[in-house]
């Protein structure tokens, strides 16, 4: 059993079913896991095995059908919409395979989006965004449109955006999925470097075995269950 006292995130018997009645599909069938603060964890498995579903549940983006998730001693399942969104806004960073940068905004504006949502003053958020962009070495592109950038650069902006609220945990869903292997390697190196530097907990969904080996812990999922 995961030890909830020393873990940042602990999940017990997580289940998630989609659809109703004749159409029911069990995406997750009883997952148990525990992540310690500052640790990195890889969730690996084939496409459709339930990796993203699990990540969404751990990040408070979706509700499990049954089971429990404890964040720092507090149950996510007991939180209301306001508490969950506030948790994601202040304590979580997200990195997606498709980057999800806003085409209408500049690199700088994309970077400080979480702070803008939080209602941080324009001066403060610009300053923090500059620091974050500096960290991913993209400060010179701050005023460019996100659409002007290459894939690798876009994912680095996404990393800056994930870092800006100084999160406890960064969730990355196949962050290298849309990048060639060399660029992917650079992005991952940067991600690990920043994770170590700021002592951030990192959860990476991937089907890259080499990437998984670099993590402190690996969870292998098949058909919604953890396999050894």
Partner 1 sequence: MRLPDYIATAQTNLLRTKVRTFLTVLAFVIGTFTLAMVTAFSQGLRSYVNTQLNAYGQPNVIRVSLGSTPSQASSSGVPYYQSNRQATVTGGGGPHDGKTASYTLGQSDLSKVKATPGIVAAYPDYSTLNIDYVQYQNTHKYVMQVQGAYPTETIALSAGSFPAANQPDGIVIPYSYVEAFGASSPTQLLGKTVSIQVSSVQPVQTHIYTATITGVLPDTAHQPAAYLANQLIARMVQFQTGSTTQFSGITALARNNVAKSERAQIKSALQSKGYKAETYDDLIANFNKPLTVVSAGLTGFAAIALLAATIGIVNTLLMAVLERTQEIGLLKALGMRKKGITFIYLVEAASIGFWGGVIGVALAMIVGLVANPILNRTVFTGIGSTHILAYPLSYMAGIIIGAMIIGLLAGTLPAVRAGRLDPIEALRRE
Ligand X SMILES: Nc1ncnc2c1ncn2[C@@H]1O[C@H](COP(=O)(O)OP(=O)(O)O)[C@@H](O)[C@H]1O
Question: By CB under 6 A, is residue 45 in contact with ligand X?
Answer: yes
Question: By CB under 8 A, is residue 116 in contact with partner 1?
Answer: yes
166 phi-psi bin (left φ>0, alpha ψ -120 to 50, beta other): left
8 A C-beta contact, residue 171 and residue 203:
yes
- Neighbouring-strand partners of residue 25: 18
8 A C-beta contact, residue 205 and residue 186:
no
Q: Which stretch binds ligand X (CB under 6 A): 17-25, 99-107, 164-172, 182-190?
A: 17-25
Of residues 147, 130, 151, the one with CA closest to residue 139: 130
Residue among 74, 104, 127, 150 that touches partner 1 (CB under 8 A): 104
- Neighbouring-strand partners of residue 205: 43, 173
Question: By CB under 6 A, is residue 49 in contact with ligand X?
Answer: yes
Is the CB of 40 or the CB of 52 nearer to Mg ion? 52
Q: How far is the CB of 39 from partner 1 (least distance, A)?
A: 22
Surface-to-core class of residue 23, CB atoms within 10 Å of its CB (0-12 exposed, 13-18 middle, 19+ buried): exposed
Tell me 147's DSSP state: G
Question: By CB under 6 A, is residue 19 in contact with ligand X?
Answer: yes
Question: By CB under 6 A, is residue 18 in contact with ligand X?
Answer: yes
How far apart, in whole angstroms, are the C-alpha atoms of residue 68 and residue 55? 14
- Which residues, numbered 145-184, are part of the site for partner 1 (CB under 8 A)? 161
- Which residues, numbered 33-62, are part of the site for Mg ion (CB under 5 A)? 52
Provide the binding-site residues for ligand X, judged by CB under 6 A. 18-19, 25, 27, 45, 47-53
Please give the residue ranges that form the binding site for partner 1 (CB under 8 A). 52, 56, 59, 61-62, 81-82, 85-86, 88-90, 94, 96, 98, 100, 102, 104-105, 113-114, 116-119, 121, 161
């Amino acid at each position: 059993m995961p030890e909830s006292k020393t873990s940042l995130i602990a999940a017990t018997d997580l289940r998630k079913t989609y659809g109703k009645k004749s159409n029911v599909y069990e995406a997750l069938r009883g997952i148990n896991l525990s992540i310690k603060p500052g640790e990195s964890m890889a969730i690996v498995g084939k496409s459709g095995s339930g990796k993203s579903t699990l990540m969404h549940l751990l990040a408070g983006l979706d509700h499990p059908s049954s089971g429990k998730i404890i964040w720092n001693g507090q149950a996510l399942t007991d939180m209301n919409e306001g508490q969950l969104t506030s948790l994601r806004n202040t304590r979580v960073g997200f990195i997606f395979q498709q980057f999800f940068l806003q085409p209408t905004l500049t690199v700088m504006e994309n970077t400080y989006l979480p702070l803008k949502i939080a209602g941080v003053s324009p001066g403060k958020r610009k300053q923090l965004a500059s620091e974050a962009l500096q960290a991913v070495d993209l400060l010179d592109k701050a005023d460019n449109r996100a659409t002007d950038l290459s894939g690798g650069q876009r994912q680095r902006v996404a990393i800056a955006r994930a870092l800006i609220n100084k999160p406890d945990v960064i969730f990355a869903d196949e962050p290298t999925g849309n990048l060639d292997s060399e660029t992917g390697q650079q992005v991952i190196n940067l991600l690990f470097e920043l994770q170590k530097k700021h002592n951030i907990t990192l959860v990476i969904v991937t089907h890259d075995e080499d990437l998984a080996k670099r993590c402190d812990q690996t969870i292998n999922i098949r058909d919604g269950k953890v396999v050894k």
